[in-house]
Amino acid sequence: MKKTVWLWVAAVIITLAAIVFQRKTGPTYPKKVQMQLDTVAVELKLPRSHNTDSVLSIAIPMLSWDWTARLYHRPYPTQTDWLVEPFFPEGEQLIAYFPIVSQKAAKLEYFIELSNLAQGQEFKIPDDDPIIIRYKGSVPAWALIPHILFIFVALIASNLTGLMALFNHDRFRFYGVLTLALTFVGGLIFGPIVQKFAFDHYWTGFPFGSDLTDNKILIMFLLWVIAVILNTRKKVRWVTILASLATIVVYCIPHSMRGSEFDYQTGEIVTGFISFFNGWLF
């Protein structure tokens, strides 16, 4: 009994660590920027994903009178001229508003420019490549919550199954079947529903596209199909261990690196690319 409890604890810890890693490396999570501007410490979270049904704004701390701030943006990927939005004082902050984007999977790239003509200073935020933001449709809670919960529990079950197989626990085959069922429901039933609401397509992975999120789910599902089949009549522990290890590795690949993208030339949603190296460790 104690052995089983510790396996559960280890499985949960591994799962939570993988989720934290995912959040820190995912290209759709806000990019954190810190800088010192005169005596003001500026700390920003620059969004890289937003819903089409709400207005997006960027807020920065209030600056002294001799500083000006501008928001530059344009459709991505295009080479059109940058559009400029001013920052307005609202309360104790300066706020600039993006234009309303109603097209799912459309992307913009943007950066903030701070300048002080009197001091001859100018800063670009971020100081490397512009931020790429992708717009998505709102996903209702009845679809999103089960998707997240089933995948979360499937990851715990996958890690638990691998640990049970490693220590030759009697019930590792049962939990392998449970992992397969949870992955199927969370990834292949609720996953396409979430995808449809967000980007107007049920499936953009193999063989229709190269969306990493969809392909990751497919790989995880096939890994456990193989593990369950090979363990049906006799115990093949090493297959289950490999399936568990491969699942956690595949999950840690950042979501949306090759996600749905609106093509401004054709007017269609295609499988695009969100740069993984655009501030991937921030």
- What is the domain extent for residue 151? 2-26+140-271
Co-location of 236 and 206 in the same domain: yes
Co-location of 89 and 212 in the same domain: no
User: Is the Cβ–Cβ distance between 169 and 3 less than 8 Å?
Assistant: yes
User: Is the Cβ–Cβ distance between 106 and 145 less than 8 Å?
Assistant: no
User: Is the Cβ–Cβ distance between 184 and 221 less than 8 Å?
Assistant: yes
Co-location of 244 and 200 in the same domain: yes
Domain boundary among 97, 115, 136: 136
Co-location of 209 and 84 in the same domain: no
Tokens found for residue 32: 């954190």
* 276 occurs within a structural domain: no
Domain CATH number, residue 65: 2.60.40.10
Looking at the 3D structure of the chain, how many domains does it have?
2
Does 272 score more than 70 pLDDT? no
Digit-coded pLDDT (tens) for 87-119: 999 888 899 999 999 999 999 999 999 998 777
Q: Is 126 helix (H, G, I), strand (E, B) or coil?
A: coil
Does 121 score more than 70 pLDDT? yes
Q: Is 35 helix (H, G, I), strand (E, B) or coil?
A: strand
Question: How far apart (Å, rounded) are the C-alpha atoms in residues 178 and 231?
Answer: 13
Domain boundary among 108, 136, 164: 136
> How far, CA to CA in Å, does 95 sit from each of 56, 64, 220?
10, 15, 43
- pTM of structure: 0.84
Segment 114-139 shows an average pLDDT of 87
* 279 occurs within a structural domain: no
